[in-house]
Amino acid sequence: MRLRRCAAALPVFLLVASLIPIGLSSANAVAGERGTALAGSDPAVMDEAAEFQRFELRLGTFVHDSLSPERGSADINGEILFAPFPRTPGSSANWLVPRLHVGATVNTAGKTSIAYAGFTWTYDISQRLFIEGAFGGALNNSRTGPIAVAGHNAMGCSASFHEAASVGYRITRAFSVLATVEHSSNAGLCPQNRGLTNFGIRAAYAF
């Protein structure tokens, strides 16, 4: 029974992860097409289109689940965002088009670490200030099962959902900083569901 419940959450992660190669090849093709099509376009539109073609690397540190049995340690977070799916330059609805992401949050004290993949939606409040939401699946290395282990979060199973929210500020066109909170849990599909919530600061480089 416990194996069946754990397996129920696993397809979410596998489905999201399987889309990453497709998104990467699609993004590269779109970038090449737009480079030709916008050669004689308005400079402002070309600048916006260039933003659509960009990848982004993120690195930061999180406070590890400060209200849990695993409190008192820190995490290292790394993430890559792929170039977005096709968008319409100048459209106010572009924020509804997500970007694929993959990442990992590694605990420095041997507690629960996760690897995750999913989609990120970015909404620009101004040219510099923006907010983000992310959703996908994750795999964790926590001790799982119906009985909680002292000093460890009762994650229930190795597969879970993963959500994140961020507030960001663009220092330059290439560099930005973000305050982020992330959460992983199995939505009650496994015997235990303590979950994991981390928060902290990240730096991002777009290229």
Tens digit of each residue's pLDDT (9 = 90 or more) over 162-180? 999 999 999 998 999 999 9
Q: How confident is the model at residue 82 (pLDDT cuts 50, 70, 90)?
A: very high
* pLDDT for the residue 53: 53
CATH code, domain carrying 190? 2.40.160.20
pTM to 2 decimal places: 0.75
Confidence of residue 143 (pLDDT cuts 50, 70, 90): confident
Residue 64 has pLDDT above 90, yes or no: yes
Closest by Cα among 141, 60, 138 to 102: 138
Domain that holds residue 147: 2-206
DSSP of 21-37: HHHHHHHHHHHHHHHHH
**What is the pLDDT of the chain when averaged over all its residues?**
80
The count of domains in the chain is 1
* Among candidate residues 31, 12, 144, the one with its CA nearest the CA of residue 82: 31
